[in-house]
Amino acid sequence: MGIAAGFAAIFGSMLGLGGGVLLVPLLTLFFGVDPKVAVGASAVCVVTNSVVGSSVHMRSGFTNIRLAMLLQTTTALGAISGAAIAISANPNVINFVLGIVLIYSAFSMLSQRRIPVPNAPPDAPDPLALRGSYRDQASRRIVEYVPERIRLGLAISGGSGVLSGMLGIGGGVIQVPLMNLLMRIPVKAAAGTSSFMVGMTAVATAAVFYSQDKLDPRVVVPCMIGIFLGAQIGSQITRRLPTHRLIIIFVLVLAYLGISLVLKAIGIGLPGQD
Amino acid sequence: MNTRATTSDEDENESFMPVDTVVGRATRVFRAGFSGSLALLIVGMVLIVTRKQSLPSHLVPLDEIVPGLIEGSAAPFVTLGILTMILTPVISTVTICLTFLQQGDRRYARLSAVVVLILILSISLSLR
């Protein structure tokens, strides 16, 4: 279970997804963990992945803290309502919704792969002082950006918060494509900022599951230990590799897990799964 | 649609330096959080092994943590390790808020304060 969590953390931290989007299906499909317990454990693991991974992302300059604080206002409110829905929801409904989210994310990542890093003048208007910059080790250049479409970003962040609270994922599956495709933020900065945000979002979710006595240390502790290692590895990979090389593998993993969960929700189990 | 990002070989603009201070402090809080959490989990695991116990299936309620720590039981250490991790982003956000305030960036100090309030509110509601 710890190895599975470490695997989820490597990919999660690498692409700013928190890891929950991979961990919940891994726990439910391959370890037979009850979906609600898996969602609770995942929320703690998302926080862990965020804390460990962000400490590396921040040093790399990938985390835009001002942007994170701005978007987090709507994301956190969405997470509270999502967590309340999850406590009383049918496990099959959770599996189905998560499956659809994964398939959507796969298509988003695939389309994101083909979009080049946008170029623009350095004196672009920046009324909210959200300009960010980082040194890209892969291309050995300084990348500067100013986020666009802030209002739309705030609205969609609220929606990703609802999904996060409901499913125990960090919401990064929505946030990263949102930031990159709509707000014109480079992928590494989107991943670093999302990685920071998903931890704050998952705090509220984890607290809800703690109060409901749905955090099982037999599941949480092995996963946390795996994530301590996996998140650091994933963050270091982000620094050194062009993200588009990793997206194809990630899309395949997301699509497989998404389809598996949708099939499980409608009563069709794949061979080798509980 | 205007494209507003740019790539250049220029050194980082001086205007980013205040944010670097925020990043530095937040990073230190994160490191302290995960180091503390990991240490508590290790203590809990050592107690489980030495006392031939098994990992608990439930976390300890808040009001039973301190008595349990005094008794030297494993479950309170494991619970505190998990709770330390959960609270680290909250402490980090408070630190970020205070740093923005110290730098005179009132807009983002206020936004950070709103995020802290939402986090505290959601945690308080969930623990009732």
B103-122 residue pLDDT tens = 999 999 999 999 999 888 87
What does the pLDDT read at residue B2? 39
Q: What is the pLDDT of residues A83-101, one digit of tens each?
A: 777 767 777 787 787 788 7
Tell me, what amino acid is at A172? G
**Domain spans, chain B:** 18-126
Most confident of A121-130, A181-190, A231-240, B89-98: B89-98
Which chain A residues touch B122 with a CB distance below 8 Å?
A: 76, 79-80, 203-204, 207-208
The predicted structure's pLDDT at residue B11: 41
The percent of residues in chain B predicted with pLDDT above 90, rounded, is 49
| Torsion angle defined by CA atoms of residues A79, A84, A85 and A90, in that order, rounded to the nearest 10 degrees | 120
Residues 6+ apart with CB under 8 A from A240: A137, A138
How far does B17 lie from chain A, in Å, by closest CA? 11
Distance from CA of B112 to the nearest CA of A (A): 6
Q: Which residues of A fall within a CB distance of 8 Å from B11?
A: 142
pLDDT at A118: 60
Q: Cα dist. A261→A24, A25, A106, B21 in Å?
A: 10, 7, 14, 43
Dist CA B58 CA A219 (whole Å): 10
* Alpha carbon distance A45, A57 (integer Å): 17
Residue B6's SS3 state is strand
Sort out which chain B residues have CB atoms less than 8 A from A228's CB and list them: 34, 38
Pick the most confident of A34-48, A86-100, A111-125, A160-174.
Answer: A34-48
**What number is the average pLDDT over the span A195-223?**
84
CB atoms inside a 10 Å sphere around CB A46: 35
User: Quick one: which of B12, B7, B2 has its CA closest to A148?
Assistant: B2
Mutate to test the interface with A, among B17, B65, B88, B126 (most CBs of A within 10 A): B126
- Of A37, A2, A42, whose CA–CA distance to A21 is shortest? A42
Average pLDDT over residues A69-81: 86
pLDDT digits (tens, 9 = 90+) for B24-55: 899 999 999 989 999 999 999 999 999 887 78
3-state secondary structure of A90: coil
SS3 of B8, please?
strand
Taking CB atoms and an 8 Å limit, are B82 and A55 in contact across chains? Answer: no
Q: What is the helix, strand, coil percentage profile of chain A, to 5?
A: 70, 5, 25
- What tokens were used for A4? 């599975």
Any idea what DSSP says for residue A237? H
Average pLDDT, chain B: 82
- The complex's ipTM works out to 0.81
Output the pLDDT for position A64. Answer: 92
pTM of the model: 0.80
What pLDDT band is residue A15 in, cutting at 50, 70 and 90? Answer: low
Among A77, A146, A207, select the one facing B123 at the smallest CB separation: A207
Chain A contact for B114 (CB, 8 A cutoff): yes
Q: Which strands form B6-8's sheet, in the order they lie side by side?
A: A132-136, A141-145, B6-8
Q: Which of A27, A48, A31, A30 is nearest to A39 (CA)?
A: A27
Higher model confidence: residue A3 or residue B87? B87
Which residue in the set B4, B111, B119 is minimally distant from A124, CB to CB? B4
Query: A124 contacts in B (CB within 8 Å)?
Result: 2, 4, 6
